[in-house]
Structure 1
Amino acid sequence: MTIRVILNGKRVELDGARTIFDLLRSRGLDPRLVAVERNGEIVPRDRYEECELRDGDVIEVVHFVGGG
């Protein structure tokens, strides 16, 4: 099943990604190192595996970068 979402301002089609966790893994992102907003609301990290994506969702993913 293909889901169409807006990911960081770009329209994307996701095949097989059903949850926030699936989305992050498909993009090669470590769920421990990102913050995710879905439809204007922050998704708690402990809910990534149960938070289901829906057609039309607007997802923002912020990746933390270390350094000094």
Structure 2
Amino acid sequence: MDPETHKRFLAYRDKHGYFGGTIPLLGRDAFLAADKEQLELEAKGERRDDDEEARFEELSKLLFRD
């Protein structure tokens, strides 16, 4: 895991501890997959279609990102 991804993982864990409630904590592999997909969709920006926008919002919520 590269340093930037590791920082995002630690931030996710911190936010999960505060906001996560009963949501299961993602493991390393699940986090990496969700993080990668969320970053790819974020990079698309305005070019996201409706399905991609819905998935982006779902992943952003799952990863506690604004």
The answer, yes or no, to whether TM exceeds 0.5 is no
TM score, norm. by length of structure 1:
0.29
Whichever structure has more helix as a proportion of its residues is 2
Whichever structure has more strand as a proportion of its residues is 1
Bigger radius of gyration, 1 or 2? 2
TM score, norm. by length of structure 2:
0.29
